[in-house]
């Protein structure tokens, strides 16, 4: 694939508009009873009609056989090599609570846990305390002050929190304290490089003070930390593609990912109808829109085949509102598959279609895993989505003389 340094030289701003609709986890597997996947089972006249006019195919988010997390699945579609730009667990947790990280901030994922009087872990999730309790405890931990770093502790959900360290010359090259099993004490945080030694001392001091503050708690009397990471130094979509991009997503993590790559986050509301209304309201102000539909993935992870089918139908119902805007380029795909039969993200390639005045349509007449196999794009890396979309929007100049 051609690199960003080349794309940024041939990309140009123009009035044409690109809409990228990501149906989270849309790819599936056949229901053994019917032999049909979720997409093949759904009544989805709009998706199928778009497929007739589109260039179709199947994307591999990372590479064949690799099941992507949500971050690599999305970053690949935005054009970023998902292996090179791997987002740490701590940063992802911070993105998930709409936290804006500065380039040098160190983020770690934290768990409240239970230790016995010898300091041995007896429950890694502190019996899943309530989010309210978590919020109270984080308030206490926020009082910790240590020389050399400003410390923030932010509640996520149940037993989960985010630790942020801000300061000069800190390093995320730290091992986890979480031993990931019971019957052991939390590990002392170790520096993985000489320049991380000072940060290790700071974090160990934080853990020590946290243990003192929490010692009277019956369940959440200790903390575990993992996934120390820093925001990757990632070129922004406006830099690479000269786009003015906006995101409409109901879940904070996707808003965070969008912000990370330089998108403006627009109000999304709770339903796909509200998302489409937001798209209409802001349509004049941007030239690229990422619309994220979540419930296909959620129902797939629940293992509820029928509910995932309904989620697809709900999305299909909302499409006329999008189609009436007549975007110059419309891309519809997913960040990965989430077959209800597996009840988890999977490695299966994801149906893809791109509709534009300048796409070369193929013979595909249905938006599904099997039908897209015959598409004009065949099977291809998700990272090529953006250059295809840009080309079809006539936003890329010729490469080479």
Beta bridge partners of 175: none
- Dihedral sign (CA 318, 245, 79, 107): negative
Tokens of 325: 């805007």
Say whether residue 6 binds a copy of itself (CB under 8 A): yes
Say whether residue 386 binds a copy of itself (CB under 8 A): yes
Say whether residue 389 binds a copy of itself (CB under 8 A): yes
For a copy of itself, which is the closer residue by CB, 37 or 171? 37
For a copy of itself, which is the closer residue by CB, 309 or 396? 396
Helix axes 70-77, 252-260, angle to 10 degrees: 40
DSSP result, 256-288: HHHHHTTPEEPP--SSHHHHHHHHHHHGGG-SE
For a copy of itself, which is the closer residue by CB, 59 or 137? 59
For a copy of itself, which is the closer residue by CB, 161 or 275? 161
Residue 89 CB coordination number (10 Å) = 17
Looking only at residues 67 through 96 of this chain, which bind a copy of itself when binding is defined by CB under 8 A? 67-72, 82-83, 86-89, 92
Q: What angle do CA 30, 36, 37 make, to 5 degrees?
A: 55
- The Cα 269–Cα 255 span in angstroms is 12
**Per-residue binding letters, 171-210, with a copy of itself (x by CB under 8 A):** ----------------------------------------
Q: Which of 18, 22, 29, 279 binds a copy of itself (CB under 8 A)?
A: 29
Say whether residue 362 binds a copy of itself (CB under 8 A): yes
For residue 389, the minimal CB distance to a copy of itself (Å) is 8
Say whether residue 65 binds a copy of itself (CB under 8 A): yes
Say whether residue 34 binds a copy of itself (CB under 8 A): no
Tokens of 47: 């998706």
Looking only at residues 320 through 349 of this chain, which bind a copy of itself when binding is defined by CB under 8 A? 342, 344-348
Q: Which candidate, 370, 392, 398, 294, places its Cα nearest to that of 57?
A: 370
User: Which position has the token pair 């239970």?
Assistant: 114
Sheet holding 378-381, edge to edge: 264-265, 245-249, 288-293, 18-23, 329-333, 350-356, 55-60, 378-381
- The Cα 154–Cα 164 span in angstroms is 8
For a copy of itself, which is the closer residue by CB, 8 or 63? 63
Q: Phi/psi at 256 (nearest 5 deg)?
A: -65, -45
Judged by CB under 8 A, how many residues of this single chain contact a copy of itself? 61
**Per-residue binding letters, 109-148, with a copy of itself (x by CB under 8 A):** ----------------------------------------
Say whether residue 388 binds a copy of itself (CB under 8 A): yes
For residue 201, the minimal CB distance to a copy of itself (Å) is 27
Say whether residue 168 binds a copy of itself (CB under 8 A): no
- What's the residue count for the chain? 401
Say whether residue 41 binds a copy of itself (CB under 8 A): no
Say whether residue 162 binds a copy of itself (CB under 8 A): no
Longest dimension (CA), the chain: 73
Q: Which of 158, 302, 377, 382 binds a copy of itself (CB under 8 A)?
A: 377
Q: Phi/psi at 112 (nearest 5 deg)?
A: -75, 140
For a copy of itself, which is the closer residue by CB, 2 or 169? 2
Beta bridge partners of 152: 164
Determine contact, residues 69/344, Cβ cutoff 8 Å.
Answer: no
Say whether residue 103 binds a copy of itself (CB under 8 A): no
For a copy of itself, which is the closer residue by CB, 51 or 390? 390
- The Cα 42–Cα 28 span in angstroms is 12
Residues that bind a copy of itself (CB under 8 A): 1-3, 6, 10, 29-30, 37, 62-72, 82-83, 86-89, 92, 227, 342, 344-348, 358, 360-363, 369-370, 373-374, 376-380, 384, 386-392, 396-401
């Amino acid at each position: 694939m051609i690199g960003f340094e080349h794309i940024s030289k041939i990309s140009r701003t123009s009035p044409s508009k690109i809409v990228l609709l990501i149906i989270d986890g849309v790819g599936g597997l056949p229901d053994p009873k019917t032999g049909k996947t979720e997409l093949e089972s759904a009544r989805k006249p709009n998706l199928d009609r778009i497929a007739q006019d589109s260039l179709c195919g199947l994307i591999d988010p990372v590479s064949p056989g690799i099941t992507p997390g949500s971050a690599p699945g999305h970053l690949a579609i935005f054009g970023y090599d998902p292996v090179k730009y791997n987002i740490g667990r701590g940063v992802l947790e911070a993105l998930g609570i709409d936290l804006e990280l500065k380039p040098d901030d160190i983020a770690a994922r934290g768990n409240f846990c239970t230790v016995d009087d010898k300091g041995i872990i007896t429950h890694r999730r502190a019996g899943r305390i309530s989010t309210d309790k978590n919020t109270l405890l984080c308030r206490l931990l926020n009082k910790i002050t240590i020389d050399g770093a400003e410390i923030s502790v932010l509640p996520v959900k149940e037993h989960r929190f985010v630790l942020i360290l801000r300061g000069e010359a800190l390093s995320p090259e730290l091992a986890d304290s979480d031993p990931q099993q019971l019957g052991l004490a939390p590990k002392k945080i170790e520096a993985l490089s000489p320049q991380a030694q000072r940060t290790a001392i700071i974090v160990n001091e934080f853990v020590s003070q946290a243990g003192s503050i929490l010692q009277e708690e019956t369940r959440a009397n200790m903390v575990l930390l993992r996934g120390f990471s820093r925001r990757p130094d990632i070129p922004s979509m406006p830099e690479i593609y000269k786009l003015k991009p906006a995101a409409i997503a109901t879940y904070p993590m996707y808003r965070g990912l969008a912000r990370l790559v330089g998108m403006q986050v627009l109000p999304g509301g709770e339903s796909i109808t509200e998302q489409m209304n937001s798209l209409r309201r802001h349509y004049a102000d941007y030239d690229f829109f990422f619309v994220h539909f979540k419930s296909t993935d959620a129902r797939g992870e629940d293992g509820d085949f029928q509910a995932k089918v309904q989620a697809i139908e709900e999305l299909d119902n909302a499409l006329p509102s999008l189609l009436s805007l007549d975007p110059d380029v419309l891309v519809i795909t997913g960040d990965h598959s989430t077959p209800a039969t597996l009840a988890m993200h999977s490695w299966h390639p994801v149906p893809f279609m791109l509709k534009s005045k300048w796409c070369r349509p193929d013979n595909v007449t249905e938006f599904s895993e099997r039908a897209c196999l015959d598409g004009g794009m065949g099977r291809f890396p998700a990272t090529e989505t953006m250059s295809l979309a840009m080309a079809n929007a006539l936003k890329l100049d010729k490469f080479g003389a």
